Structure 1
Amino acid sequence: MRRATLVLLFGLATPVLADDIDISGRLEQGGLAVGRVPAGASVRFNDRAIATTDAGTFVIGFDRDAPAVSEVVVILPDGKTQKKSLEIIPRHWQIERVDGLPQKLVTPDPATEAHIAQDNQLMVAARERTEPIPFYESGFIRPAEGRISGVFGSQRILNGVPRRPHVGLDIAGPVGTPVSASADGIVSLAKADMILTGQTVVIEHGFGLDTVYIHMSEIRVKDGAHVKQGDVIGAIGQSGRANGPHLHFGVMWFNTRLDPETILAVMPAKKN
């Protein structure tokens, strides 16, 4: 599979665009890109206003099913407008079969569906809590040790029933294995009794970039806590809709789900 791995801010490659806009990262479905524009410029991406740091840096993400072309529009401090088209590389997705799940969580009854809807609203509220500080500049680490048991983007077949694609990275390990914050940030959700995701933590890393940690056996942080990369926030478990102990590690940019392996490659942890 061909990938465009072009990293600017973390020093792994040359920017792909000239003029006043630099874009780098993985320009692929499920990918993350980082950019730089002149300080004071404003940025729009797919009709969304994008926050920039004082130095003019920003992040953008591409959905699992992102179209072949996306556009970045920049209004420079002198009022001039520049537009850049980004060619997004398509990916081929695996098919994963998961059996042995509680059937009521695959085809929930009305009461369970209502609880799931309430949980989803909590997740929406967590994504709306955007910090204006680029905590993500700490870079990201893998949050737990263990075997990779599920990958981003795969088509899931649960108990023989096709369901939505998988939107995270599954890390299998013994119950109680420590789970750490992947990067600096603010805890925007810490809830222990979500129906599908079980014991769940969401961390906001600034500018709409979140990480998600679910199916845990315990939570060791509280909503609103400021965490540093490597802080233990919980432990691997089997809560929610899970057929074995593992951590589901997810990454979101606003409402766009991203491939966690992308963020680990594009924004690796800074070396001391």
Structure 2
Amino acid sequence: MKVWLKALLLSANLLATQQLAAAAEITLDGKLTQGSLIRGQAPAGAKVLFNGQPVKVSATGQFVFGIGRDADLQHQLTIIAADGSQQQLPLTFTSREYDVQRITGVAQKYVTPPAEVTERIQNDNRKVRAVRTTLSDKTAIFAEPVLPATGRISGVYGSQRVFNGEPRNPHYGLDIAAPVGAPVLAPWSGEVLLAEDLYYSGLTLIIDHGMGVTSTLMHLDAISVKVGQQLRQGEKIAEVGATGRVTGPHLDWRINWLQERLDPQLLLSAE
């Protein structure tokens, strides 16, 4: 869904008429809702701030930002033109409802991992956080994505389980059920940042698509690429598996903007 900010801001009565004329040069592509990645276009040479923080901008004025599952709904985009003039663009996002399942009688070993793996989990988390700080000049993320596997959608972003009254972390990916060995494709072009066996996610790939956006592909049975390798959109990079903490074979595909966890399905359904 492509939103022309001029129309958006007119309907919300957010800016004066003379400011709107300049805002017509700015477009946003995406759904203004929780968990969404928004792709934008500003005039070349402009600087962009989201909630007061600088956002990476390409040489041609492309930029991205996003908000998480439970983020506040009021945000602000600031565009600073090459001549120093500024536009303050308030944005109102919509809230979402998520599927929450309450399950009782679950054995404790499935709720809390054993103490002996705590250090490994912490080390895994540090590695993942580190690669998700990558801010490259790649602009692959502005293409439409390729679904990385073929199969039934078995899990969605934002869902959450409550085991024995104890809330677990929400699910932040799109699960695609497929048999072990089914091909996994690169959703966009990019560079491999991580290819490792992690405690929770099993064999895991993290790919940089540029501008702070990464894909994470989890529970793989085999990985056919290595760290530093440049990937083409749609090429086979791995195979579906059931590694890590899972109950059956599937691909868990996740998208991040830096440390912000976003919903891949919103990009697939964009119009």
Shorter-chain TM-score: what band? Answer: 0.7 to 0.9
Q: Does 1:194 align with 2:198?
A: yes
**Structure 2 residue aligned with 1:207, among 211, 220, 242?**
211
Q: Larger Cα Rg: Structure 1 or Structure 2? A: 2
Q: Does 1:124 align with 2:129?
A: yes
The one-letter code matched in structure 2 to 1:199 is L
Query: CA 1:32 to 1:103, structure 2 compared with 1: closer, same or farther past 3 Å?
Result: same
Query: CA 1:141 to 1:81, structure 2 compared with 1: closer, same or farther past 3 Å?
Result: same
Q: Contact 2:188/2:209 (CA < 8 Å) preserved in 1?
A: yes
Q: How far did 1:57 drift?
A: 1.5
Partner SS state of residue 255, structure 2: strand
Using the size of structure 1 for normalisation, the TM-score is: 0.87
Q: Which moved more, 1:74-83 or 1:249-258?
A: 74-83
Q: Which residue of 1 aligns with 2:260?
A: 256
The one-letter code matched in structure 2 to 1:94 is D
The one-letter code matched in structure 2 to 1:113 is T
Cα distance in 2 for residues equivalent to 1:16 and 1:238:
44
- Mapping of 1:5-44 within 5 angstroms? 5-6=1-2, 16-17=8-9, 18=20, 19-20=22-23, 21-44=26-49
Partner SS state of residue 48, structure 2: strand
The one-letter code matched in structure 1 to 2:8 is V
Identity over aligned pairs, percent: 40
Q: Contact 1:101/1:243 (CA < 8 Å) preserved in 2?
A: no
Cα distance in 2 for residues equivalent to 1:38 and 1:100:
57
Cα distance in 2 for residues equivalent to 1:65 and 1:176:
35
Partner SS state of residue 16, structure 1: helix
Cα distance in 2 for residues equivalent to 1:214 and 1:159:
26
Query: CA 1:96 to 1:183, structure 2 compared with 1: closer, same or farther past 3 Å?
Result: farther
Q: Contact 1:199/1:217 (CA < 8 Å) preserved in 2?
A: yes
Cα distance in 1 for residues equivalent to 2:209 and 2:169:
26
Residue deviations 1:216-264, cap 9 Å, x none? 1111110111001111111111111101111100000011111111122
Structure 1: segments with no counterpart, 5+ residues:
none
Structure 2: segments with no counterpart, 5+ residues:
10-19
Residue deviations 1:179-200, cap 9 Å, x none? 1110001111111x21000000
Q: Which residue of 1 aligns with 2:153?
A: 148
Using the size of structure 2 for normalisation, the TM-score is: 0.88
The one-letter code matched in structure 1 to 2:63 is F
Q: How far did 1:16 drift?
A: 3.2
Q: Contact 1:100/1:243 (CA < 8 Å) preserved in 2?
A: no
Residue deviations 1:131-188, cap 9 Å, x none? 2121223321110011111000012235874201110000011111111110001111
Q: Contact 1:16/1:24 (CA < 8 Å) preserved in 2?
A: no
Residue deviations 1:66-104, cap 9 Å, x none? 212110011111111111011100011112468999954
Query: CA 1:224 to 1:200, structure 2 compared with 1: closer, same or farther past 3 Å?
Result: same
Q: Contact 2:134/2:258 (CA < 8 Å) preserved in 1?
A: no
- Mapping of 1:102-181 within 5 angstroms? 104=109, 106-157=111-162, 161-181=166-186
CA RMSD across the alignment: 2.4
Cα distance in 1 for residues equivalent to 2:239 and 2:149:
9
